[in-house]
Amino acid sequence: MLKVFRYFYPIFLTCILVVGFSSQACELVIKAASSDDWPPYFFKAYEEEAGLEVDILHTVLEKTPFCLEFVSMPSLSRAVEELRHKRVDLLVASSFSEDRATFSHYSKSYRDEKMVMFENKHNKSLVQTLATKPNYEDYINQENMIIAVHRGSHYGKKFNQFLADFKGNTISTTFARQRFDLLKKGRVDIAIEDQLAGVFLMADANYYDHIVNSQIVVFNEPVYYMLRKGLMNEQQLEVFNQAIEDSLQQIQDLIQEYSNYKPKL
């Protein structure tokens, strides 16, 4: 694959439209919600969508007669609402939610998502606690602790219930950079972040000397594509799910490639 660079992120060049099987007309055009600032999953390269989720979706759809069009969304919560109102067709990296299943279909799972806790490495009392590798309930349940989370994200029933009962404070933001800025400035004690996204962001010169990955996992479950109800008939959905099944090894190879990439500072 050809790699180019924006800041320190790897970019695998892709086209906005992918036609599966042949150059014949698309059987179905899928409008997928994207983000301009979710490295390494989504980011812009020469005004085009790029990133791990872009590469994965292209890998899947090249095995189908479906085409792909990206629609940039300002936030996850906005993307969910757009799907609910049938203005976009597909959301990536979606955790299963009974509420969201009322207005969408879930595909087969295509990868796992691991959410971990990131710390300010200069907070000595918290960093010392990390040496014992406690579970998050013991670690977070301290008086006046402030946690930054992604607005609109689903962290699983167990952690969501913990947050509901949490006696401290939570701050919701749209972008990982916002959470890391708060963490760097000491305005929050913990940022909950996707592990791969957090590790990539930590390599930024703004953060690498300030933030540490605790490796304490709060959520690790499969993720799926959320599909607009009515987008596909039963046969098309079967084709899409089979394409995911046939792409699993390629997807793992892509994840490994992004995981092994060492950003240049």
Residue 215, pLDDT > 80, answer yes
Confidence bin at 33 (pLDDT 50/70/90): very high
Write down the pLDDT at residue 131: 58
What is the pLDDT averaged over residues 188-193?
92
In the Cβ-directed half-sphere of 188, how many Cα atoms lie within 13 Å?
A: 23
Query: What pLDDT, on the 0 to 100 scale, is given for residue 142?
Result: 62
Q: For the chain, what is the mean pLDDT?
A: 85
Q: CATH homologous superfamily for 114-220?
A: Periplasmic binding protein-like II (3.40.190.10)
- Under the banding of pLDDT at 50, 70 and 90, the label for residue 126 is low
Which class is domain 3-112+222-260? alpha beta
Q: How confident is the model at residue 154 (pLDDT cuts 50, 70, 90)?
A: confident
Question: What's the pLDDT score for residue 221?
Answer: 92
Same fold? 3-112+222-260, 114-220:
yes
Q: Which of 33-47, 190-204, 237-251 has the highest mean pLDDT?
A: 237-251
- Domain spans, the chain: 3-112+222-260, 114-220
